[in-house]
Amino acid sequence: MKGKIIKSTGSWYQVLDLETGAIFEARIRGKFKLLKTRLTNPLAVGDHVEFQLEKDDIAWITKIEPRRNYLIRKSVNLSKEAHIIASNIDLACFIFTLKHPETSLGFLDRFLACCEAYNITPLILFNKMDVLNEEEAELVKDIEFLYQNIGYRTLEISSYTRLHLDHLQDLLKDQTSVFFGHSGCGKSTLVNALQPGLNLRTSEISDTHLKGKHTTTFAQMYFWDFGGNVIDTPGVREFAMIDIEKEEVQHYFPEIFKKREECKFHNCLHINEPKCAVIAGLESGEIFESRYATYIKLMDEAEEAVQK
């Protein structure tokens, strides 16, 4: 029997029977846990699997199909490298909030680099536009302009005023999408606004630290009435890329990768090499400082991974 993982709690899963539409509680055979991998979880929401039904309609997953793509986050378990957040994604929506909570550009850039690395189409959603004053709204437009010039698609939204939600529905229709962002950025509220009746649990921002409280504790797939589905994920603090060579990092920053053709040396890493077009672009403002800072940080992480 062929199915799709639609919920993961760590030890138990829910699998959707692709033929009948039935949903079963599922577990994996012990052998999957013994696979040598640098990932902490053998299965993720979005995985296509084969399974068998046994007594009490418990499904046992027997095979995992190759993943088309996936996104991963750094694991809190230091003995492992990373944790798969979701797989087989058509559209990855990054929910950016200027405040309540504040989203850093470095966090956004890391997400975009991961999308480039794993061949996933990103969409930047600037959420909670209804709480911004005029000056803050202008700042969002400046940030949008920056990322649109690089080639990324953006959309300003509000779950409460329903700003551009009709347009967002058109983009999500018939896609497997996933919502990412810090805890408190409004992922679950947005799902509720797009699919009334789901009533996903939401929480207010902590006044003490201006950070969101975790309300989604595991990834789960929900189906839109207008077609397609979304994977709602726990708040992610940091994305990760594993098995990436230092020389590859520039491939995941489109404006840097394009500029490299003008460098004097074909193997330029854009750090301190002479006649580097990327460094010149940084000085002229063509390359944004926060983007370059994330590039350097990912280069350092790739170098550290080799040395371990």
Any known ligand binding at 115?
Answer: no
Any known ligand binding at 268?
Answer: yes
Any known ligand binding at 176?
Answer: no
Any known ligand binding at 130?
Answer: yes
Chain center to CA of 2: 26
DSSP count for the chain of H helices, then E strands? 8, 13
Cβ-based burial of 82 (10 A; exposed 0-12, middle 13-18, buried ≥19): buried
Any known ligand binding at 128?
Answer: yes
Any known ligand binding at 186?
Answer: yes
Any known ligand binding at 37?
Answer: no
| Token digits of residue 101 | 């909570």
Any known ligand binding at 181?
Answer: yes
Cβ 93 vs Cβ 154: under 8 Å:
no
Any known ligand binding at 170?
Answer: no
The secondary element (H helix, E strand) that includes residue 213 is none
Cβ 93 vs Cβ 178: under 8 Å:
yes
CA neighbours closer than 13 Å in the CB half-sphere of residue 52 = 6
Any known ligand binding at 93?
Answer: no
Any known ligand binding at 299?
Answer: no
The identity of residue 101, as a single letter, is: P
Residue ranges of the annotated binding site for GTP are 127-130, 181-189
Give binding residues for Zn(2+) as ranges: 263, 268, 270, 276
Binding-site positions read: 127-130, 181-189, 263, 268, 270, 276
